Chains A and B, each alone.
Chain A
């Protein structure tokens, strides 16, 4: 079926009036023959048939008005009901004269025009900064809105951003109080090494922000001594120096697994604990140039022998200063050996951002009371410092107790 729609014929019309039909329903018509004469404002347009076929329906009668886009006639040309002819030029476009092309004609009325006064709205919250400065702020994690701009009109300069970033990096920057140190007599001025400077910073920081609580106790380690003596030779055969520290590390690792809040960090800014699923056990190592605390990665995955082996290697490297940066990073809990300095008890300083540190004193024979009787036993002193903001005394006590139980009965070390 051919649906012949009244097309825009480019004469500036949007409607026409049927003047004369040359065919009626049922007539046969040939392509090109004039179907109808339509009267418009300008001319009487003759519309030729686009197809051969039989007239099925007339879209309007003589004298009636027909609009552009309306069906003017239906012709059965044997085809399926055709959609729009394959042209994009059509649709509802109603054109006006112009000789070339198609300009739309529409009687739609637009809103009236007025001359409005220009409104300049100043955005006072806008930060003035160049793209480079903005990118810099992003890279350094600085919120540019909070930066005081020292440039013209309050513009934020790169220097301003660097400064803001510095302040951010050292949280609660401790301002070193200006204390004058009086000297009397001969003195020697020795500049600090860079390692010492680092230690100054970290110790000061730890002590400034962490409220330390220290619990001390001693544990009877006869069993441990016996065990070690037994196994020492075998270990030596495998070229492993089996020290007590290996057993102690194992005990600590087990305790950290049992008490996860000791293997964590306190994220004060976001008011949350960060529990670490990995255990990187830090060992404080005394070196000729100062204290270094490398860690044994994933200590919870290692056997006592493996811990012993790695401990030696790490310690050697620390002394050699061949320690890598990664060995020093991401410690989760630290053990410090007072015993090496021939000392029993101490109040160790926690390595921020850890929350605890265990000091091991020298193992010595002592008189103890057992079942009402005095006997001589091997005793190991323990000093546990904790961050009292997030670990209470009772927790610390339980942690220490557990370690004691493991070390006093080495079988428990193997079974746990």
Chain B
């Protein structure tokens, strides 16, 4: 089995699916010839030709809107937006059309497409290159939103996303594109959308994270004394949320913490906590908590480390919640 990075796993998923299904096309700014600014799509144009893997003008609404038309007319488009911060010019098509076409036409047209883009901070980048906008997409009915935390999950989730009959937003945590390798099976496999994963079993507290932050929580756990047993869950699917896995965990531990890179208010943490309150209230031994960024614009490099949650802050919250 190959041992590869998250980025390579994505490339592999795209490559294998494109060989498998000639309807699949991959496109975006610099996606074709160069293989993307991060080289995620490297080698694909050479292999599958310029019709199927191509560069687009700088026009996010055309990328996402074009994807809508392509999906209607028999292709399976995988549209790339270069960075999280540039989703907004293409957001209009995602929300007003991608998410709604099936409902609008009562199933007359459906859009089996994928929109993928790198997300998240901690890479000391320019403005608009470190956003976490799960909420803005998870809130939209008709979309599915997933985010892998490991190379293995990346390949399996992307294949599922491509094969899904509904539009799927595939978020790629850029911070961990190349940091760390993992065994990834040669053949195609699927990780179902809508299923979280218990990364580590425990009994004292449930901690939920996703994307780059699963590793940060693992780092935090190492800072704890042995007497706190943490159950770590990788959410994987922002929408739909795997409620049952989280509920079962909280029923066991009685304590719940969400770790989210995104800005604090109105974030995924709020949704998860509301859900736990609704469905596992009587099991709670402490108020559900969230460790989040601040309600600020993501700072540039010199200030980013305050906002980007350090493992120490996660560990402190775990201690606080378990002591309540």
Contact = CB atoms under 8 A, between A and B. Distances in A.
In the complex they form, do A and B come into direct contact, defined as C-beta atoms under 8 angstroms apart? Answer: yes
A191 interface: no
B286 interface: yes
A288 interface: no
Interface in B274-324: 281-286, 324
Contacts of A132: 254, 282-285
Interface string A90-132: 0000000000000000000000000000000000000000111
Contacts of B283: 131-132
Nearest to A134: B282
Nearest to B287: A130
B123 to A, nearest CB: 40
Contacts of B324: 130
A170 to B, nearest CB: 28
A210 to B, nearest CB: 41
Contacts of B284: 130-132
A150 interface: no
Contacts of A130: 284-286, 324
Interface residues of B, number: 8
Interface residues of A, number: 5
Q: Is the interface of B mostly helix, strand, loop or mixed?
A: loop
Nearest to A135: B282
Contacts of B281: 131
A272 B324 CA distance: 44
Interface in A254-276: none
A130 B282 CA distance: 8
A126 to B, nearest CB: 16
A135 B286 CA distance: 14
Contacts of A133: 285
Interface in A11-58: none
A133 B281 CA distance: 12
B250 to A, nearest CB: 11
Nearest to A158: B285
Contacts of B286: 130
A133 B282 CA distance: 9
Interface in B217-259: 254
A196 B286 CA distance: 43
B272 to A, nearest CB: 17
B189 to A, nearest CB: 40
Interface in A125-148: 130-133, 135
Nearest to B280: A131
Contacts of B282: 131-132, 135
Contacts of A131: 281-285
A133 B324 CA distance: 12
Nearest to B324: A130
A38 to B, nearest CB: 37
A147 B286 CA distance: 19
16 contacts: A130-B284, A130-B285, A130-B286, A130-B324, A131-B281, A131-B282, A131-B283, A131-B284, A131-B285, A132-B254, A132-B282, A132-B283, A132-B284, A132-B285, A133-B285, A135-B282
Given A130-B285, A130-B324, A132-B283, 10 more contacts: A130-B286, A131-B281, A131-B282, A131-B283, A131-B285, A132-B254, A132-B282, A132-B284, A132-B285, A135-B282
Interface of B: 254, 281-286, 324
Interface of A: 130-133, 135
Which 5 pairs across A and B sit closest by C-beta, in order of nearness? A131-B282, A132-B285, A131-B284, A130-B285, A131-B281
